[in-house]
Amino acid sequence: MRYTVADQADTSERSDKAYAIAGLAGLALAMGVGRFALTPIFPLMQSEASLSIAEGAWLAAGNYLGYLVGALAAFGVSRRPSMLIRAALVVNAAATLGIGVTHTFAAWLAWRCIAGVASAFLLVFISAACVQRLAPRGRPMLIAAVFSGVGAGIFAVGGLVFALDAFGVRSSGIWLVLGTLSLVLTVFVWPVFNERTDAARGVPMTQRIAQRRLAWWPVITSYGLLGFGYIVPATFLPIMAKSVVGDGWMFALAWPAFGFAAFVSTFAGAYAARHASGLGVWRTSQSVMALGVALPALLPGLAPILAAAICVGGTFMVITMSAMQTATQFGAAHAKRLMAAMTAAFAAGQLAGPVTVSWSIEPGTGFSKLLVTAAASLLVGALLLPRGRTAEHHACVDSISRKAS
């Protein structure tokens, strides 16, 4: 049978779409379940197990500590990304099931830490694999679809938790449902990430690239400040909403709103990137996030909390997508290492957030001071970002260098 160029192009397009869908599902599991499932479930655990906000902060911090460990480990790993993605998917599901079958705070803390390690591996290696495959083929909307998986996961988990709670399912049962669904989705994602789809090995480090690593630090630092700035609302939005309106469906809106905004925002971000540099989109998005984080501290009521959910949810994945694409330009052949370094900085920043909450929150006090501090850190991070042409210049230099060698 003879295949035409059109047949080959059609096959390639279908393959790219399947890869993007697998990346979407993988990030949905990594972030919607592994990272952020605690956020909508914690108010239920709080009422069932009499957990304090400080204990919730430590559970979040355990997850973020695992995320930091995973990011640092990913920095030193360069082989068999498909094997690492598959293993991380299984570990993520197992850790989620583990919370449902254990009943002590220490066990929950350990499982959340393990889930954090798995989610860091998934974010780094799925992002790198998908961007490096789809960007050279001119597939910006497929890249947007991959990163929309984070918002889709958050939205789906938030809606599912709300529905299961309405039917009287306890928090332990919800964790078991999420773990089971994670295993089912892993079965579908498993065949897509295989040895044939692994990215080619990078070229050896050159002195030019090693020297240019100094230019990585403003980007890494900004991404770390993002981690601290967004994590307080990202962890405690439902608790803030509940403190305003009490129990009921109204307070449960905050987290699904956050996830839906994150889901649709990546496509808007991909469109905006056609008319502005990736760093420009990142800078603008981080400034909008700062405004959203500050709103609940400046204005009373549920409306500012929902506005914060939309502002933060509608920008944090645009920033992540822009950051990972910027890493492919700044990092060149070592993009995965830069992605891992940025993710580690992000993890350190977000680890500092709940730890700060656990130390500073006392009964009867609110989040206002922390929100103002978080907003200020986001603005500082936006100002640290280099001009957009810098990344474009590096990309051109790398291209010329590769051709010359």
Name residues whose C-beta falls within 8 Å of residue 4's C-beta, 6 or more positions apart in sequence. Answer: none
> Look-up: residue for tokens 């891992």?
340
Both tokens of 231, joined, read: 């994590």
pLDDT for the residue 204: 37
Q: What percent of the chain has pLDDT over 70?
A: 76
> pLDDT digit string (tens) for 46-78?
888 888 877 887 888 889 889 889 888 887 776
- The contacts of residue 24 (CB under 8 Å, 6+ apart) are 145, 146, 148, 149, 152
Mean pLDDT of the chain: 78
pLDDT in tens, 184-213: 999 999 988 876 665 434 333 333 444 455
Q: Which helix (H) or strand (E) holds 9?
A: helix 5-27
DSSP string, 347-400: HHHHHHHHHHHHHH--TT--SHHHHHHHHHHHHHHHHHSPPHHHHHHHHHHHHH
Per-residue pLDDT band at 8 (split at 50, 70, 90)? very low
Least confident range of 139-148, 229-238, 284-293, 369-378: 229-238
Q: What is the pTM of this model?
A: 0.76
Question: CATH number of the domain at 16-404, please?
Answer: 1.20.1250.20
Find, among 51, 184, 71, the residue nearest to 117 by Cα: 71
How many Cβ atoms sit within 10 Å of the Cβ of residue 212?
Answer: 17
Tokens 């810098």 label which residue?
Answer: 390
In the prediction, which pLDDT does 9 show? Answer: 46
The pLDDT, as a whole number, for residue 265 is 85
Residue 174 has a pLDDT of 95
pLDDT at site 198:
59
pLDDT tens per residue across span 77-90: 766 778 889 999 99
